[in-house]
Amino acid sequence: MHKYCNQCLYSTKHPFGLSVYESGCSGCSTHQEKNEINWQKRYQELQEIVQTVKNKTKGYDCVVPVTGDAEDYFVLSKVLELGLSPLVVAVNDYFKNDIGWHNLHQLITNFDVDSVIFNPDIRVYKDLVRTSLRKFDHILLPFLSLHTSFPVHIAYERKIPLIIWGQHQAIEQSGKFSHYDKVEMSKWSRKEHDLFETDIDTLIGNGAQVNTRDLNYYQYPDIAKLSRRGIKGLYLSNYFRWDPLVQNKKMLVHGFRPERNQSSFDVYERAGNSVYYQFHDLLKYKRVGYRKIRDHLVREIRHGRITRDEASAIESQYNQSQVNIRGFFNWLDVSQSGYEWFKLHRLNDVKNLICETDVEKKNIILPEKLTFLVEQAYCSINEFIYFGKGI
């Protein structure tokens, strides 16, 4: 039987692995490190790393992988503050709505940076999504494979020595590592945490009509080659006191557009994604037993903006939120009969959370400290916009 933390809402069932003690859990204790670390000294350490890199390069100093999230705005603002010359790299997940495309384009134009946007072959991509859904109840694994490998390929191909990411999820959520470890990007961590112990090889075969030569960018580059070129990836959450809600609200001045959703109060994370708080959130609940709202509430408990009891009550309300998943199956070119079969045989346990019409946005009362941070948001008009369709 899994044990629950008495400080936050997580249990030992967390997909990243989490230890529970009498005084709390590994995630809560790791979060406390933020109150102990000398962040000014950490920033100076980062400046020293940056200066070493700048002394070795004449072109781009770093690659910054982005999706268009508010977190990407924050990361890029810090990269430019450090005096680096970044190349922004994005992968088209084909799930963006009008807000998502606005945020990605605004990021590039507002900060006036060079960019590479990769549009994967849509036929191959959809085939991988079908297989991922069928085998793992997950629709984002193909995108996550590309998002965590394509920027590394670009860094290798263009001899760019540094890749700068935002937060390390396993540290921020479950305390899998300590901030004192200063964990860097690795092939193992990518598979263990970003891809949930899968890799692209598990998404081919069993009906997927994919040629292996189409999968190069889905696969992580050879570690020995990366080492020879001195390429490494850093997580800024090891060098700044990471507080997503506060950081993300500040990005509104740069033109970031937050999006209201029916599954969480967080209007910044994955704003502009047509599936993240819809079908993806439903599948997360099926796989691990809780929805994205718990991750957000745990984060806010640890930052002291909400109590555990308040969080539990809010989660109960959001857990009843229904989602309309038909748009995803239309995108995947699934027939009506196929859609009905999947609901009956694969989603029967969560059928009460499936809605066939537009979902009514819940009016959930939040503590004042949260309301102030998330009061401004927009609603999308067009879903699944195919700019840059891959061929």
Domain shared by 263 and 123, yes or no: no
Measured CA angle at 324 (ends 323, 325), to 5 deg: 110
Stated pTM of the model: 0.95
CB-facing half-sphere around the CA of 229: CA atoms within 13 A: 21
Q: What share of the chain is helix, strand, coil (3-state, %, to 5)?
A: 50, 10, 40
Cα–Cα distance between 145 and 142 in angstroms, integer?
Answer: 5
Domain shared by 61 and 147, yes or no: yes
Domain shared by 161 and 174, yes or no: yes
Domain shared by 275 and 219, yes or no: no
Domain shared by 294 and 226, yes or no: no
Mean pLDDT across the chain, nearest whole number? 93
253: in domain:
no
Q: What local confidence, expressed as pLDDT, does residue 361 receive?
A: 66
Domain shared by 83 and 215, yes or no: yes
- How crowded is residue 334: how many other Cβ atoms within 10 Å of its Cβ? 17
The beta strands (E) that lie in the chain are given as: 20-21, 24-25, 62-66, 86-91, 114-118, 162-165, 232-235
Cα–Cα distance between 202 and 23 in angstroms, integer?
Answer: 39
Cα–Cα distance between 179 and 176 in angstroms, integer?
Answer: 10
Domain shared by 68 and 168, yes or no: yes
Give φ, ψ of 165 to 5 degrees: -105, 170
Domain shared by 268 and 220, yes or no: no
CATH number of the domain encompassing residue 107: 3.40.50
Domain shared by 29 and 56, yes or no: no
Domain shared by 95 and 171, yes or no: yes
391: in domain:
no
Domain range for 16:
1-36
302: in domain:
yes
- pLDDT under 70 in the chain at which residues? 205-214, 359-362, 388-391
380: in domain:
no
Total domains in the fold of the chain: 3
130: in domain:
yes
379: in domain:
no
Residue 42 DSSP symbol = H
Place of tokens 């999820």: 169
Domain shared by 107 and 67, yes or no: yes
Place of tokens 């936050």: 8
50: in domain:
yes
Question: What is the chain's Cα-based Rg?
Answer: 21
276: in domain:
yes
Cα–Cα distance between 81 and 66 in angstroms, integer?
Answer: 17
Q: What local confidence, expressed as pLDDT, does residue 111 receive?
A: 98
Residue 388 DSSP symbol = T
Domain shared by 177 and 223, yes or no: yes
